[in-house]
Amino acid sequence: SGAPAIPPAGTLVDGLAGSISINAAFDPSAGGNPALLRDGGANGVAYVANTGGGASYADLLIGYSNKLDQPMAFDTSTGIAVSSGVSDYAANAIGWFEGVRQQASTNADNKQALAARTAEALSNDTGVNIDQEMSLLLDLEHTYQASAHMMKTVGDMLDSLLAAVG
C-alpha cells in the first residue's frame, strides 16, 4: 500500500515525521485525484463512498471531521489530557509547547544574567574597575586643585613680600 510501517506504541523513531507525505492517490502532481478525498476510493473501487458521483456529496468529509473530535487515548507522558479528540489534543499541545517555550526563555534569561554577573565579578577581581578608577582619578584631581591653589597662595605671598622689601 506504500504506507510507512507503523512503529509499536511507545517506540520513538527518529525522522518519522519527515516521512509523512500526501498519498499519491490524492496528489494531482503525482497523477492522483483530490476528489477521491470527498468520494472515497483512494485504495480501490471497494472503498468508494460517493457511488452516485454527486459533486455536493460531503458525508465522507463530515465523517472525517467528526472523527477528529471523537475521544481517543493518548500517551500520559505527554502531560496533556489522556482522552480527548485530535482537535482538542492539538490545541492543548500548542499551549503545552508555549509553556515549554516560556520556561526555556526564562531559563535562558537567568543564565544570561548569571553569566553577566560572573563576568562583572571576574573583571572586578582581576581587571580594571571603572568605578574605582574614576573615584581615584577624581581624588587625584581634587588633590591637584588643592596643591595648585596652595602654590598660587604661596606665590602671591612671595610677591607681596618682595614688593614690601623691594
Higher pLDDT, 79 or 116: 116
For residues 58 and 38, the answer to whether their CB atoms sit within 8 Å is: yes
CA angle 76, 108, 110 (to 5 degrees): 110
In this structure, what DSSP letter does residue 76 have?
G
Residue 48 has pLDDT above 80, yes or no: yes
pLDDT 10s digits, 120-155:
888 878 877 788 889 999 999 999 999 999 999 999
Q: Look up residue 97 and give its amino acid.
A: F
What percent of the chain lies above the pLDDT cut of 90? 48
pLDDT of 156: 92
Q: Per the confidence metrics, is the pTM higher than 0.85?
A: no
For residues 81 and 89, the answer to whether their CB atoms sit within 8 Å is: yes
